[in-house]
Copies of this chain bind each other. A is one copy, B any other.
Amino acid sequence: DKQAQKAGQLFSGLLAMNVVFLGSAFICSMIFNKVAITLGDVWIFLSILKILALGWIAYYLLFTRRKPHAVLYRDGHAGPVWVKGSLMLFGVCSILLNVFRIGYDIIHLQCKSQLEILFPCIEIPFICIQTYFIWHHAKDCTQVQHNLTRCGLMLTMATNLLLWLLAVTNDSVHREIDSELNKLMRAFEGNRTSSCKCPNTIACKVFQRGYILLYPFNTEYCLISCSMLYVMWKNVGRRITQNHAARSKPKFEIRGLIFGPLLGISAVIIGICIFMLYQIQAANSSPSYHVFILYYSYYITLLPLMTVGALAGTIIHGLEERELDTLKNPTRSLDVILLMGAALGQIGISYFSIVAIVAMNPKGLLNSIILAYSVCLIIQHITQNIFIIEGLHRQPLVEMETKGEKCEDSPSKAYSLEIRQEIRRASQAYVQNWKRKALQEISSFLIMCNIILWIMPSFGAHPEFENGLEKSFYGYSTWFAIVNFGLPLGVFYRMHSVGDLLEVYRSA
């Protein structure tokens, strides 16, 4: 049985690997040789993959799932509410994005090929059906047709991965064109009017603006789908012991907390103000020196606070005597790997910044602030990761009470001893309560901070590009590649941390 499972995983994994490699080669060819392979070719390839994936999903929904004993067990850890919620949110955003794109393409119909309108039309049903499928079946541990299910899941996952890759690279192209166009338009203003320029109607502006605003959500949607499909793939054929499945989940409540939410909300409000200032300047021209100072100052005030919070939380975790939860749990292992992997994006960018600044050795306030910002980012990522990983491996609080009962177990004790025990238990409960509250304060603060740090880059504040320091050091295209690889991962990291911190908050 175990052997068959290993073989099935190996086979479907190899299938996915080949599809991903072929697709990556396609996409890279498109980037480096635009003549031989066009974006259209890549879209055709992806559409074929999408149709295959849709076919398998339909088969699963109609046949596999309905077989007797198809889904005997459901993995309680897979697909928590916050992941499903963000999947739904990003799915809706992606559909809107495609609607905007169709609108935009129809306006520009005279200078685009008819084929290009077809692709968003395939994309919309793909997103709808896939979201429905993941929403309802994320917890399934399928027990029939193992190999077909594994291959189907891997195919769907490979499709999402390639869509992500295309979105990341295409985003780069899009930004490049965008910035080039801005310059060109300022230079040749009024000199010539191309038939492909956006006519000055409101509809076109809305479509264009919506397209640019919603773009980051599409990449996030692909990443989330991938991670959930991976968990489903891991769960195929898995048998869950009853003990493991029936774990009581502590309720989520926010009463009695003061400092964490207060600090967090003020951080969010200040952040939004600074973000607005930054965006207003960035929309018209390059942001000014003062806005950069403001932006980076905000970060180097907030990040050390977050670091201190995470450190304090880690220390409190260390003081607790709860047992570590060492049960096998694919969802949690994946969480930890994703957290560490996604952190690499931002940490990589920061190290590149540090080397560039130290090597150029420039004087000036802005440069020292950028240096401090990069160092703070690295430290903050590491401490937060440690805090979250420690938190995820704690048993929920239920364990504690049984421990308390165990203390009571020793029979025939004197009255004074009983009182002493009572006091000890009360003080223990008080300390426990205090620790619990502190952990909740810290996690609620970190949640708020991560939300604002997630909003700012994902809606388009990219000072790494606009300050021009690293760009001049590494050269435009190299720095572009570094940032374009790291930034989406950084945004995903913030989103993922929010989810994991919610988990830590609940289990505190």
Contacts and interface: CB of A to CB of B under 8 A. Distances in A.
A456 interface: no
A interface, by DSSP: helix, strand, loop or mixed?
Answer: helix
A345 to B, nearest CB: 11
A21 B382 contact: no
A26 B352 CA distance: 8
A326 B1 CA distance: 12
A419 interface: no
Given A26-B355, A326-B2, A355-B37, A474 B32 contact: yes
Interface string A138-161: 000000000000000000000000
A31 B29 CA distance: 24
A3 interface: yes
A99 interface: no
Contacts of A347: 17-18, 21
Interface residues of A, number: 40
A351 interface: yes
B359 A36 contact: yes
A324 interface: yes
A14 interface: yes
A51 interface: no
Among A24, A25, A324, find the residue whose CB has the most chain B CB atoms closer than 10 A.
A25
A338 to B, nearest CB: 15
A475 interface: yes
A22 interface: yes
A352 B36 CA distance: 13
Contacts of A473: 29, 32-33, 36
6 contacts: A22-B351, A25-B352, A25-B355, A28-B474, A29-B474, A36-B356
